Amino acid sequence: MSQNDGNNAYWDANVRLILISLVVWAVVSFGFGIILRPMLSGIPVGGTDLGFWFAQQGSIIIFLILIFFYAWRMNKLDQQHGVDEE
Give the footprint of another protein on this chain (CB under 8 A). 7, 10-11, 14-15, 18, 21-22, 25, 29-30, 33-35, 37, 45-49, 52-53, 55-57, 59-61, 63-64, 66-68, 70-71, 74-75, 78, 82-86
Please name the residues in contact with 37: beta carbons below 8 A apart, sequence gap of 6 or more: 49, 51, 52, 54, 55
| Shortest reach from residue 34's CB to another protein, in Å | 5
- The nearest distance, CB 67 to another protein, in angstroms, is 4
Distances (CA, A) of 66 to 37, 43, 81: 21, 24, 22
User: For residues 42 and 57, which CB has a smaller minimum distance to another protein in the complex?
Assistant: 57
Q: From CA 1, how far away is CA 50, in angstroms rounded? A: 52
Rounded to a whole number of angstroms, the minimum distance from the CB of residue 38 to another protein is 8
